[in-house]
Amino acid sequence: MPHRGQSSAVARSNGLK
């Protein structure tokens, strides 16, 4: 999983899972 640093843009990608 990505770090909290890029949780903003990655949150959308991870949200799908």
Q: What pLDDT was estimated at residue 12? A: 73
Phi, psi of 9 (to 5 degrees): -80, -35
CB 1, CB 14: distance < 8 Å: yes
Q: Give the DSSP H or E segment for 6.
A: none
pLDDT in tens, the chain (17 residues): 555 655 567 767 766 65
Region of residue 3 (left: phi > 0; alpha: psi -120 to 50; beta: else): beta
